[in-house]
Amino acid sequence: MFNLFKRNKKPIPNWELMENYPKKDYYFIRLMPWGWMSEEQIFVSDINSPRIITMDPWPQVVYLNATGSKTIAKFAKWLAGKYEGNVPDTLIGDVIDLMETLSTKDPLIELSQEKKRLKTNLVNPISN
């Protein structure tokens, strides 16, 4: 037949890192209000001190996807699926490192064993 529902699954290098990551089934959710600085960059308004935080592109992708509805492992698979060519060898390690950094150093996200809903003030940007 046509194989309409057959997916072309690409291998994800170093997936065993995710399989061995104790928090792979945790959900991640943002903790602070955010807004757009430009068409490509966001800022996060620190609720613990009078400052704004800007991010490099990778942490920004994590933050924008931190809605509490996707596990870290599912996010990593989704992210790997965005690549048209080969998935980078470092992707899984980078995702794990970002989750740990963003949830511990000036925590911008929370890792939770349960799905959580975003607080209303964190769903949309605070500026245009």
* Phi-psi sector, 106: left (phi>0), alpha (psi -120 to 50), beta: left
pLDDT-derived band at 106 (thresholds 50, 70, 90) equals confident
Q: For the chain, which domains are there?
A: 22-116 (1.10.10)
Per-residue model confidence (pLDDT) at position 128 = 54
* Residues 9-21 pLDDT 10s: 678 999 999 999 9
SS3 19: helix
| Contact indicator for 46, 30 with CB cutoff of 8 Å | no
The per-residue pLDDT for 123 is 94
